[in-house]
Structure 1
Amino acid sequence: MTEEDWRLPIINYLQYPILPYEKRIRITTLNYLMWNGDLVRKSKDELLLRCMGKKEYMKVMGEVHEGICGAHQGGRKTCWLIRRYGYFWPTMMKDCIEYSKGCEACQRHGPIQQAPSIPMSPVVKPWLFRGWATDLIGKIYPASSKQHCFIIVATDYFTKWVEAKPVKFTTSQEIIIFIK
């Protein structure tokens, strides 16, 4: 299965502009030109970026992300660096983000928590037994000697008192008995 090169319609239009082409291709081609046999894109800051096919840009992404001078930057920074080095393809940002997310070294050695930390807000209750947190743990394998597979746990918010009871089944009747 060969994937069609995204550059072909643009190159064809630039080489043979008199043939009938779709309006989308005619408009898109305004940002491109042929220079020394290569397709280049004019960037917003007037730089010429060399357009690349899939094989080429996979190699460039690998070099920039994890090559000899690569620092295992995130996807956005990798994309920024590739543009700075003078390369372009339409799906750069998406491809760079996917590449950096799939990098095994980044997954092994990168930060564990990526979400911003927020201060914890304690649950304050004014007196004993005013509020409880209840949870069900299970199914536990293997079951205990008495065939208990679940544990019902309740904690008082004020005193942090914990009550736990092993149960065989998680029926509403078992939960009601535990709470009473």
Structure 2
Amino acid sequence: MDQPSNAELIITPGEQEQEETHLNKDELKEPERGSQSDKEPLWKLYVNGSSNKLGSGAGLILTGLENFVMDYVVRFGSHTSKNKAEYEALIAGINLAIQTRAQRLKAYCDSQLVVNQIQGTYEARDERMIKYLAKVRRMADKFRSFKVVKIPRMENTKADVLSKLAASGYTALGSICMEFLKKSSIENEIVEIMQVDDEPCWMDEIMNYLREGKLPEEKKEARKVIQRATRFSLDGENLYKRSYTLPYMKCLRPSDASYALQETHEGICGEHLGGKALTIKMLLRGLYWPTLMQDALDLVKRLWGMDILGPFPPASGGREFVVVAIEYFTKWVGDELLAKITEQNIHTFFWKLVICKFGIPRVLITDNGKQFGNRSF
């Protein structure tokens, strides 16, 4: 059945999540629109999902108060279908709007299947589609007003370009925020949240004070918690740090912080930045924890690269090869001329110029040549 290009769905809080195996149009009746204040600003969200042989991803554009515009891309850890990518894009966009505390949201999507399944015109039979549909409805309850609008693809060009960039794995995105989604948003939600909540860390005292007014028994420690808490804000189970020049920054627990730092530095979107540049990038992504700078420096200060160059025209002593080592944090370079590139010569060079001066590297990047792949190395 052909649908009008501007078909619009209105969802208001109060709809119940469907538990049946199959949903049909009668089970997804639209409720009456509740009253809402016109004073609340209207946020607009453009979403698009993409899936091709290179990968899968989503592109989002969120606009709101005072010409606020955020371009956001999500790279999926596993390949998924086009329809599932569209749902993931919508869910990621809605979640982003929830974090900005939007009360009225209007989402634009060019997927006829997604819009009509939410509307009830199309029946959701696939088990995963039913889960996606239920999650969208559940998230819609968090807004005073929520609309999904079907628009032509030509009117969603920018989100389409962002989704294709995310799917391609391209990482040089400048100021565009990027997220890596390891697995589907409908899998193991409760288990993951429980694991995070059970992990004790620096956030607990601040959250306990902001939520329940609890303080440590020792007066000195209690005073410190009160002073620190003025720089933080609690939203549900998420703690945010206030910033003078940036939006609120989400606070991370140690395990999440370690993963985010490594993924940004050397993961699928990694750029192998220096310590200070890596710290700035994490802050620009809206992430914070107290030891961010030190953790970033510790991560990169023992990252080395090593390679062999040559042969060149022979120099004195028949030396025609150059072995080079570079430390990525300080950009320090060490080199030595060699007549032969044997395993022993490379081992001696690495011991004298790297280990004896800087200690054992955490990571060593080579081209896996036979001089580097031996047992002694």
TM, length-normalised to structure 1: 0.56
Partner residue in 2 for 1:44? 244
**Equivalent residue for 2:120?**
none
Which residue, out of 66, 75, 88, partners 2:275?
75
Distance apart, 1:25 and its partner CA: 0.3
Q: State the 4+ residue runs in structure 1 displaced beyond 6 angstroms.
A: none
Distance across 2 between alignment mates of 1:67 and 1:20: 39
Q: Distance in 1 between matches of 2:209 and 2:263?
A: 32
**Cα distance in 1 between the residues matched to 2:259 and 2:230:** 27
Q: Which of 52, 64, 77 is equivalent to 2:264?
A: 64
Give the unaligned 5+ runs of structure 2: 1-197, 217-221, 307-324, 334-377
Deviation at 1:68, TM superposition (A): 1.4
1:94 aligns with one of 294, 298, 301: 294
**Is 1:111 equivalent to 2:326 in the alignment?**
yes
Deviation of 1:36 (Å): 3.7
What do the CA deviations read for 1:101-147 (whole angstroms, capped 9, x no partner)?
133xxx0257358469xxxxxxxxxxxxxxxxxxxxxxxxxxxxxxx
CA-to-partner distance for each residue in 1:44-73, whole Å, 9 max, x for gaps? Answer: 215110000110000000111011121100
Cross-structure match for 2:372: none
Which residue of 233, 236, 242 corresponds with 1:33? 233
Please show how residues 1-180 of structure 1 align to structure 2 within 5 Å: 4-17=200-213, 19-21=214-216, 22-103=222-303, 107-109=304-306, 111=326, 114=331
The equivalent residue for 2:31 is none
Give the partner amino acid of 2:285.
Y
SS in 2 for 1:111: strand
- Matching residue of 1:145: none
Q: Which amino acid aligns with 2:265?
A: H
TM-score by length of 2: 0.27
- In the alignment, the residues of structure 2 paired with residue 42 and residue 100 of structure 1 have an alpha-carbon distance, to the nearest angstrom, of 27
Measured in 1, the distance between the counterparts of 2:232 and 2:296 equals: 22
In the comparison of the two structures, how many residue pairs are matched? Answer: 111
Distance 2:199 2:238 in 1: 20
Kindly state the Cα deviation for residue 27 of structure 1 after the two structures are TM-superposed.
0.4
Higher relative contact order (CA 8 A, sep 6+): 2
Q: 3-state DSSP class of the match of 2:230? A: helix
SS of 2:201's equivalent in the other structure is coil
Q: Name the residue aligned to 1:151.
A: none
Q: CA deviation at 1:29?
A: 0.3
1:20 deviates by 4.4
**Residue type matched to 2:263 in 1?**
E
> Against the structure 1 CA distance between its residues 20 and 86, is the aligned structure 2 distance closer, same or farther, given a 3 Å change threshold?
closer
**Matched position secondary structure for 1:43:** coil
For 2:200 and 2:277, how far apart are their aligned partners in 1?
A: 28
Cα distance in 2 for residues equivalent to 1:115 and 1:101: 11
Secondary structure of residue in 2 paired with 1:39: strand
User: Closer, same or farther in 2 for the Cα pair 1:26/1:52, shift >3 Å?
Assistant: same
SS in 2 for 1:40: strand
Give distance in 2, aligned partners of 1:13 and 1:36. 14
Which secondary structure does the structure 1 equivalent of 2:234 belong to? Answer: strand
